[in-house]
Amino acid sequence: MPQARTMAARCRLLALVVLISLGVITLLQSLQRTPSIHDIPLSIRGHRFGSSSGPKRSPSIRIKKVSALFGEPNYLYEAALATHERHNALHGYQMQVLRERIHASFLAKPAYLMSVLVEELAKPWDERAQWLAWVDPDTLVLNQQIPLELFMPPPDEEINLIATHDDDGYFNGGVFFLKVDSWSLEFLIQVLAVPLTDRKHHVSLNKDHAALEQIMENQRFRSRVTYQPRLWYNAFDYNKTYEGESGNLMVHLLDLGGDKWARMDKYLGNVTSKVNPHEVPLEQTTYEKQVQSFWKRMADSRKILKEAKLKEKGHDGIKEAARRLKFALDFETDNEVVIRGAYDSLLKALYENK
Ligand SMILES: *[C@@H]1O[C@H](CO)[C@@H](O)[C@H](O)[C@H]1NC(C)=O
Ligand SMILES: *[C@@H]1O[C@H](CO)[C@@H](O)[C@H](O)[C@H]1NC(C)=O
Protein backbone atom coordinates (compact mmCIF):
# COMPACT_ATOMS: atom_id res chain seq x y z
CA MET A 1 0.00 0.00 0.00
CA PRO A 2 2.59 2.62 -0.98
CA GLN A 3 -0.16 5.19 -1.58
CA ALA A 4 -1.54 4.88 1.92
CA ARG A 5 1.98 5.13 3.30
CA THR A 6 2.65 8.34 1.33
CA MET A 7 -0.65 9.77 2.65
CA ALA A 8 0.34 8.94 6.20
CA ALA A 9 3.77 10.51 5.67
CA ARG A 10 2.17 13.64 4.23
CA CYS A 11 -0.18 13.89 7.19
CA ARG A 12 2.71 13.56 9.60
CA LEU A 13 4.63 16.25 7.75
CA LEU A 14 1.60 18.54 7.77
CA ALA A 15 1.10 17.98 11.49
CA LEU A 16 4.76 18.79 12.10
CA VAL A 17 4.53 22.03 10.11
CA VAL A 18 1.40 23.09 12.03
CA LEU A 19 3.06 22.24 15.32
CA ILE A 20 6.19 24.22 14.53
CA SER A 21 4.17 27.22 13.33
CA LEU A 22 2.12 27.19 16.51
CA GLY A 23 5.32 27.02 18.55
CA VAL A 24 6.80 29.99 16.70
CA ILE A 25 3.60 32.03 17.11
CA THR A 26 3.44 31.29 20.83
CA LEU A 27 7.10 32.23 21.23
CA LEU A 28 6.59 35.51 19.36
CA GLN A 29 3.57 36.34 21.48
CA SER A 30 5.42 35.70 24.69
CA LEU A 31 8.24 37.95 23.52
CA GLN A 32 5.88 40.87 23.07
CA ARG A 33 6.31 42.99 26.17
CA THR A 34 3.29 44.20 28.00
CA PRO A 35 3.27 47.98 27.59
CA SER A 36 4.78 49.93 30.46
CA ILE A 37 5.33 53.59 31.07
CA HIS A 38 8.60 53.30 29.16
CA ASP A 39 6.53 53.05 25.99
CA ILE A 40 4.88 56.31 26.74
CA PRO A 41 5.45 58.31 23.56
CA LEU A 42 3.96 55.41 21.61
CA SER A 43 1.14 55.07 24.11
CA ILE A 44 0.19 58.69 23.84
CA ARG A 45 -0.04 58.42 20.09
CA GLY A 46 -3.22 56.43 19.49
CA HIS A 47 -2.58 53.85 22.18
CA ARG A 48 -4.98 51.00 22.70
CA PHE A 49 -6.08 51.94 26.20
CA GLY A 50 -9.32 50.23 26.95
CA SER A 51 -9.74 48.56 23.60
CA SER A 52 -9.59 44.84 23.42
CA SER A 53 -10.12 41.99 21.07
CA GLY A 54 -12.13 38.78 20.96
CA PRO A 55 -15.12 37.85 23.13
CA LYS A 56 -14.02 37.07 26.66
CA ARG A 57 -17.22 36.76 28.61
CA SER A 58 -17.45 35.21 32.04
CA PRO A 59 -18.90 31.74 31.47
CA SER A 60 -22.30 30.80 32.90
CA ILE A 61 -22.76 33.01 35.91
CA ARG A 62 -25.83 32.17 38.00
CA ILE A 63 -27.96 35.30 38.26
CA LYS A 64 -31.15 35.93 40.19
CA LYS A 65 -33.31 38.96 39.54
CA VAL A 66 -34.98 40.60 42.51
CA SER A 67 -37.86 43.03 42.44
CA ALA A 68 -40.74 44.34 44.53
CA LEU A 69 -44.33 44.88 43.50
CA PHE A 70 -47.13 45.23 46.02
CA GLY A 71 -50.07 47.44 46.85
CA GLU A 72 -52.86 48.25 44.43
CA PRO A 73 -52.93 45.82 41.49
CA ASN A 74 -51.28 47.45 38.49
CA TYR A 75 -51.51 45.58 35.22
CA LEU A 76 -48.80 47.70 33.57
CA TYR A 77 -46.24 46.83 36.24
CA GLU A 78 -47.33 43.19 36.00
CA ALA A 79 -46.83 43.31 32.26
CA ALA A 80 -43.41 44.89 32.75
CA LEU A 81 -42.44 42.07 35.11
CA ALA A 82 -43.69 39.63 32.49
CA THR A 83 -41.07 40.98 30.05
CA HIS A 84 -38.49 40.07 32.69
CA GLU A 85 -40.01 36.61 33.06
CA ARG A 86 -39.52 35.98 29.34
CA HIS A 87 -35.96 37.23 29.59
CA ASN A 88 -35.37 34.94 32.58
CA ALA A 89 -36.77 31.92 30.76
CA LEU A 90 -34.58 32.61 27.73
CA HIS A 91 -31.34 32.98 29.72
CA GLY A 92 -31.99 30.75 32.72
CA TYR A 93 -32.29 33.35 35.48
CA GLN A 94 -34.33 32.87 38.60
CA MET A 95 -36.42 35.71 39.93
CA GLN A 96 -37.88 36.61 43.30
CA VAL A 97 -40.46 39.35 43.74
CA LEU A 98 -41.49 40.89 47.04
CA ARG A 99 -45.30 40.86 47.04
CA GLU A 100 -46.14 42.24 50.46
CA ARG A 101 -45.39 45.52 52.16
CA ILE A 102 -42.77 44.63 54.77
CA HIS A 103 -42.22 48.04 56.30
CA ALA A 104 -44.13 51.29 56.40
CA SER A 105 -41.10 53.25 55.21
CA PHE A 106 -38.71 53.03 52.34
CA LEU A 107 -36.54 50.22 53.66
CA ALA A 108 -38.15 47.58 51.49
CA LYS A 109 -35.50 47.48 48.79
CA PRO A 110 -32.36 46.97 50.90
CA ALA A 111 -34.24 44.84 53.45
CA TYR A 112 -35.64 42.48 50.84
CA LEU A 113 -32.30 42.33 49.02
CA MET A 114 -30.68 41.35 52.28
CA SER A 115 -33.18 38.59 52.91
CA VAL A 116 -32.62 37.14 49.42
CA LEU A 117 -28.87 37.51 49.83
CA VAL A 118 -28.87 35.61 53.13
CA GLU A 119 -31.10 32.93 51.62
CA GLU A 120 -28.60 32.46 48.79
CA LEU A 121 -25.60 32.47 51.12
CA ALA A 122 -27.26 29.69 53.11
CA LYS A 123 -27.16 27.40 50.06
CA PRO A 124 -24.19 25.25 49.04
CA TRP A 125 -21.91 27.19 46.70
CA ASP A 126 -22.82 25.33 43.54
CA GLU A 127 -26.53 25.97 44.06
CA ARG A 128 -26.48 29.59 45.04
CA ALA A 129 -26.91 32.55 42.73
CA GLN A 130 -23.61 34.35 42.25
CA TRP A 131 -25.11 37.75 41.50
CA LEU A 132 -28.39 39.43 42.32
CA ALA A 133 -29.83 41.84 39.78
CA TRP A 134 -32.26 44.32 41.24
CA VAL A 135 -34.88 45.49 38.71
CA ASP A 136 -37.62 48.00 39.53
CA PRO A 137 -41.11 47.12 38.26
CA ASP A 138 -41.05 50.20 36.06
CA THR A 139 -38.20 48.74 34.02
CA LEU A 140 -38.99 46.51 31.11
CA VAL A 141 -36.92 44.33 28.85
CA LEU A 142 -36.89 45.69 25.31
CA ASN A 143 -34.29 43.43 23.75
CA GLN A 144 -34.63 39.89 25.07
CA GLN A 145 -31.41 38.81 23.37
CA ILE A 146 -28.98 40.64 25.65
CA PRO A 147 -27.84 38.50 28.61
CA LEU A 148 -27.04 40.05 31.99
CA GLU A 149 -23.83 38.06 32.50
CA LEU A 150 -22.35 40.21 29.77
CA PHE A 151 -21.95 43.05 32.29
CA MET A 152 -20.41 41.04 35.12
CA PRO A 153 -16.77 41.66 36.02
CA PRO A 154 -13.99 39.39 34.76
CA PRO A 155 -12.83 36.93 37.46
CA ASP A 156 -9.80 39.03 38.46
CA GLU A 157 -11.82 42.19 39.17
CA GLU A 158 -12.78 42.70 42.80
CA ILE A 159 -16.13 44.32 42.22
CA ASN A 160 -19.26 43.70 44.29
CA LEU A 161 -21.73 46.29 43.19
CA ILE A 162 -22.39 47.58 39.68
CA ALA A 163 -24.65 50.58 39.35
CA THR A 164 -25.62 53.53 37.17
CA HIS A 165 -25.96 57.30 37.63
CA ASP A 166 -28.68 59.74 36.69
CA ASP A 167 -27.89 62.97 34.86
CA ASP A 168 -27.10 64.77 38.10
CA GLY A 169 -24.56 62.16 39.08
CA TYR A 170 -26.72 60.45 41.68
CA PHE A 171 -27.03 56.71 41.98
CA ASN A 172 -30.16 55.45 40.26
CA GLY A 173 -31.52 52.28 41.80
CA GLY A 174 -33.73 51.15 38.91
CA VAL A 175 -31.31 48.39 37.95
CA PHE A 176 -28.14 47.35 39.75
CA PHE A 177 -26.10 44.24 40.45
CA LEU A 178 -24.90 42.91 43.78
CA LYS A 179 -22.51 40.00 44.17
CA VAL A 180 -23.55 37.20 46.53
CA ASP A 181 -20.90 37.15 49.26
CA SER A 182 -20.24 38.41 52.77
CA TRP A 183 -18.97 41.83 51.61
CA SER A 184 -22.43 42.49 50.18
CA LEU A 185 -24.05 41.36 53.43
CA GLU A 186 -21.91 43.82 55.37
CA PHE A 187 -22.76 46.49 52.84
CA LEU A 188 -26.51 45.99 53.25
CA ILE A 189 -26.24 45.88 57.02
CA GLN A 190 -24.60 49.32 56.86
CA VAL A 191 -27.28 50.60 54.48
CA LEU A 192 -30.06 49.50 56.82
CA ALA A 193 -28.21 51.06 59.76
CA VAL A 194 -28.12 54.56 58.25
CA PRO A 195 -30.13 56.62 60.75
CA LEU A 196 -33.43 57.62 59.20
CA THR A 197 -32.82 61.31 59.85
CA ASP A 198 -29.43 61.14 58.10
CA ARG A 199 -30.81 59.98 54.82
CA LYS A 200 -30.06 62.83 52.52
CA HIS A 201 -32.60 62.73 49.77
CA HIS A 202 -32.33 64.49 46.46
CA VAL A 203 -35.45 63.07 44.88
CA SER A 204 -37.84 62.90 47.78
CA LEU A 205 -39.23 59.47 46.91
CA ASN A 206 -35.87 57.79 46.80
CA LYS A 207 -34.67 57.66 50.38
CA ASP A 208 -33.69 54.03 49.95
CA HIS A 209 -31.48 55.04 47.03
CA ALA A 210 -29.94 57.77 49.17
CA ALA A 211 -29.06 55.29 51.92
CA LEU A 212 -27.58 52.85 49.39
CA GLU A 213 -25.60 55.67 47.81
CA GLN A 214 -24.29 56.93 51.12
CA ILE A 215 -22.72 53.56 51.88
CA MET A 216 -21.58 52.98 48.28
CA GLU A 217 -19.53 56.17 48.52
CA ASN A 218 -18.20 55.31 51.96
CA GLN A 219 -14.41 54.96 52.03
CA ARG A 220 -14.72 51.41 53.28
CA PHE A 221 -16.93 50.22 50.44
CA ARG A 222 -16.30 52.38 47.40
CA SER A 223 -13.40 50.44 45.89
CA ARG A 224 -15.71 47.51 45.15
CA VAL A 225 -18.44 49.66 43.65
CA THR A 226 -18.36 50.55 39.98
CA TYR A 227 -20.60 52.52 37.65
CA GLN A 228 -21.47 51.48 34.11
CA PRO A 229 -23.12 53.59 31.39
CA ARG A 230 -26.83 53.52 32.14
CA LEU A 231 -27.78 53.12 28.48
CA TRP A 232 -26.54 49.53 28.76
CA TYR A 233 -29.43 48.38 30.95
CA ASN A 234 -31.07 51.33 32.70
CA ALA A 235 -31.83 53.70 29.81
CA PHE A 236 -34.37 56.28 30.90
CA ASP A 237 -37.59 57.28 29.28
CA TYR A 238 -38.69 60.72 30.32
CA ASN A 239 -40.50 63.57 28.66
CA LYS A 240 -41.84 61.06 26.15
CA THR A 241 -38.36 60.28 24.92
CA TYR A 242 -36.31 57.09 25.04
CA GLU A 243 -32.66 57.93 25.54
CA GLY A 244 -31.46 54.48 24.51
CA GLU A 245 -30.40 53.20 21.14
CA SER A 246 -31.82 50.46 19.02
CA GLY A 247 -30.96 47.11 20.58
CA ASN A 248 -30.51 48.36 24.15
CA LEU A 249 -31.60 45.88 26.79
CA MET A 250 -34.07 47.79 28.95
CA VAL A 251 -36.01 50.97 29.49
CA HIS A 252 -36.66 52.60 32.86
CA LEU A 253 -39.87 54.63 32.89
CA LEU A 254 -39.12 57.62 35.08
CA ASP A 255 -42.08 59.47 36.42
CA LEU A 256 -40.80 62.75 35.01
CA GLY A 257 -42.50 64.81 32.37
CA GLY A 258 -45.74 62.91 33.06
CA ASP A 259 -47.34 60.36 30.79
CA LYS A 260 -45.57 57.39 32.35
CA TRP A 261 -48.51 55.01 31.94
CA ALA A 262 -49.19 55.88 28.32
CA ARG A 263 -45.49 55.45 27.52
CA MET A 264 -45.35 52.14 29.32
CA ASP A 265 -48.36 50.97 27.36
CA LYS A 266 -46.63 51.92 24.11
CA TYR A 267 -43.46 50.03 24.98
CA LEU A 268 -45.47 46.98 26.03
CA GLY A 269 -47.38 47.10 22.77
CA ASN A 270 -44.09 47.15 20.88
CA VAL A 271 -42.23 44.45 22.74
CA THR A 272 -45.15 42.03 22.66
CA SER A 273 -45.89 42.57 18.98
CA LYS A 274 -44.76 40.03 16.38
CA VAL A 275 -42.02 42.34 15.15
CA ASN A 276 -40.44 43.94 18.18
CA PRO A 277 -38.51 46.95 16.84
CA HIS A 278 -36.13 46.81 19.84
CA GLU A 279 -35.04 43.21 19.30
CA VAL A 280 -31.51 43.04 17.87
CA PRO A 281 -29.20 40.00 18.15
CA LEU A 282 -26.28 40.54 20.52
CA GLU A 283 -23.75 40.16 17.71
CA GLN A 284 -25.31 43.03 15.82
CA THR A 285 -24.94 45.39 18.76
CA THR A 286 -21.76 47.04 20.07
CA TYR A 287 -22.42 45.65 23.56
CA GLU A 288 -19.61 43.10 23.69
CA LYS A 289 -16.99 45.51 22.43
CA GLN A 290 -18.11 48.28 24.75
CA VAL A 291 -18.19 46.09 27.84
CA GLN A 292 -14.76 44.58 27.13
CA SER A 293 -13.28 48.05 26.70
CA PHE A 294 -14.90 49.10 29.96
CA TRP A 295 -13.18 46.36 31.97
CA LYS A 296 -9.91 46.85 30.13
CA ARG A 297 -9.95 50.56 31.03
CA MET A 298 -10.44 49.56 34.67
CA ALA A 299 -7.53 47.12 34.59
CA ASP A 300 -5.27 49.59 32.74
CA SER A 301 -6.08 52.33 35.22
CA ARG A 302 -5.29 50.14 38.21
CA LYS A 303 -2.01 49.12 36.61
CA ILE A 304 -0.83 52.65 35.95
CA LEU A 305 -1.89 53.75 39.44
CA LYS A 306 0.40 51.06 40.84
CA GLU A 307 3.29 52.42 38.79
CA ALA A 308 2.50 55.95 39.91
CA LYS A 309 2.57 54.88 43.54
CA LEU A 310 6.20 53.81 43.11
CA LYS A 311 7.21 57.07 41.47
CA GLU A 312 5.09 59.77 43.04
CA LYS A 313 7.46 60.60 45.90
CA GLY A 314 8.68 64.15 45.41
CA HIS A 315 6.70 64.53 42.19
CA ASP A 316 3.59 66.55 42.86
CA GLY A 317 2.54 66.36 39.21
CA ILE A 318 2.35 62.58 39.38
CA LYS A 319 0.66 62.68 42.76
CA GLU A 320 -2.04 65.05 41.57
CA ALA A 321 -2.69 63.14 38.33
CA ALA A 322 -2.85 59.87 40.28
CA ARG A 323 -5.31 61.40 42.73
CA ARG A 324 -7.49 62.48 39.81
CA LEU A 325 -7.47 59.04 38.20
CA LYS A 326 -8.19 57.38 41.55
CA PHE A 327 -11.21 59.64 41.96
CA ALA A 328 -12.42 58.81 38.46
CA LEU A 329 -11.95 55.11 39.20
CA ASP A 330 -14.05 55.48 42.35
CA PHE A 331 -16.90 57.57 41.01
CA GLU A 332 -16.79 58.08 37.26
CA THR A 333 -16.12 54.78 35.55
CA ASP A 334 -19.33 55.23 33.58
CA ASN A 335 -17.82 58.26 31.86
CA GLU A 336 -15.38 57.00 29.26
CA VAL A 337 -14.16 60.50 28.35
CA VAL A 338 -13.31 61.35 31.96
CA ILE A 339 -11.51 58.07 32.62
CA ARG A 340 -9.51 58.31 29.41
CA GLY A 341 -8.60 61.92 30.16
CA ALA A 342 -7.45 61.12 33.69
CA TYR A 343 -5.48 58.12 32.44
CA ASP A 344 -3.73 60.15 29.74
CA SER A 345 -2.85 62.91 32.20
CA LEU A 346 -1.21 60.44 34.56
CA LEU A 347 0.65 58.81 31.69
CA LYS A 348 1.94 62.23 30.66
CA ALA A 349 2.92 63.13 34.22
CA LEU A 350 4.87 59.90 34.55
CA TYR A 351 6.62 60.55 31.26
CA GLU A 352 7.58 64.11 32.14
CA ASN A 353 8.92 63.07 35.53
CA LYS A 354 10.85 60.05 34.38
C1 LIG B 1 -39.16 67.89 30.34
O2 LIG B 1 -39.57 68.95 29.53
C3 LIG B 1 -39.92 70.13 30.24
C4 LIG B 1 -40.48 71.15 29.28
O5 LIG B 1 -40.14 70.88 27.97
C6 LIG B 1 -38.69 70.66 30.97
O7 LIG B 1 -38.99 71.79 31.71
C8 LIG B 1 -38.18 69.57 31.90
O9 LIG B 1 -36.97 70.00 32.50
C10 LIG B 1 -37.94 68.28 31.15
N11 LIG B 1 -37.61 67.24 32.10
C12 LIG B 1 -36.58 66.43 31.96
C13 LIG B 1 -36.40 65.45 33.04
O14 LIG B 1 -35.85 66.48 31.00
C1 LIG C 1 -42.79 51.50 18.90
O2 LIG C 1 -42.45 51.08 17.60
C3 LIG C 1 -42.63 52.07 16.61
C4 LIG C 1 -42.37 51.42 15.26
O5 LIG C 1 -41.12 50.84 15.19
C6 LIG C 1 -41.68 53.22 16.89
O7 LIG C 1 -41.84 54.24 15.93
C8 LIG C 1 -41.97 53.77 18.27
O9 LIG C 1 -41.03 54.78 18.59
C10 LIG C 1 -41.90 52.68 19.31
N11 LIG C 1 -42.32 53.23 20.58
C12 LIG C 1 -41.86 52.81 21.73
C13 LIG C 1 -42.32 53.53 22.94
O14 LIG C 1 -41.06 51.88 21.83
Same domain, 258 and 319: no
Ligand nearest to the CA of 268: 2
228, 259, 282 — which closes off a domain? Answer: 282
237, 264, 282 — which closes off a domain? Answer: 282
Ligand nearest to the CA of 168: 1
Number of domains in the chain: 2
Closest atom of ligand 1 relative to the 167 alpha carbon:
13
Beta-carbon count within 10 A of 124 CB: 6
In a domain, 149, yes or no: yes
Query: What is the Å distance from ligand 1's center to 246 Cα?
Result: 23
Q: Which domain holds residue 175?
A: 60-282
Query: What is the Å distance from ligand 1's center to 239 Cα?
Result: 6
8 Å CB contact between 168 and 206? no
Q: What is the strand order of the sheet 63-68 is part of?
A: 94-98, 63-68, 131-135, 171-179, 161-165, 225-227
Query: What is the Å distance from ligand 1's center to 256 Cα?
Result: 8
Helices (H), 2-124: 2-31, 40-44, 75-91, 108-121
Ligand nearest to the CA of 256: 1
Instruction: Express each pLDDT in 63-85 by its tens digit.
Output: 999 999 998 999 999 999 999 99
Same domain, 200 and 299: no
Q: What is the distance between the alpha carbons of residues 33 and 208, in angstroms, rounded to a whole number?
A: 48
Query: What is the Å distance from ligand 2's center to 267 Cα?
Result: 7
Same domain, 296 and 269: no
Q: Structure pTM? A: 0.82
Query: What is the Å distance from ligand 1's center to 258 Cα?
Result: 10
Whether the pLDDT of residue 42 is over 70: the answer is: no
Q: How confident is the model at residue 21 (pLDDT cuts 50, 70, 90)?
A: low
In a domain, 91, yes or no: yes
Q: What is the distance between the alpha carbons of residues 252 and 174, in angstroms, rounded to a whole number?
A: 7
What residues does ligand 2 touch, defined as CB less than 6 Å away? 266-267, 270, 277
Ligand 1 pocket, residue 257 CB under 6 Å: yes
Q: Which of 228, 266, 265, 235 is nearest to 250 (CA)?
A: 235
Ligand 1 pocket, residue 131 CB under 6 Å: no
Partners of 238 in the β-ladder:
241
Q: What is the pLDDT of residue 103?
A: 77
Over the Cα atoms of the chain, what is R_g? Answer: 24
In a domain, 40, yes or no: no
Instruction: Express each pLDDT in 155-174 by its tens digit.
Output: 999 999 999 999 999 999 99
223, 256, 282 — which closes off a domain? Answer: 282
Instruction: Express each pLDDT in 260-311 by its tens digit.
Output: 899 999 999 999 999 999 999 999 999 999 999 999 999 999 999 999 999 9
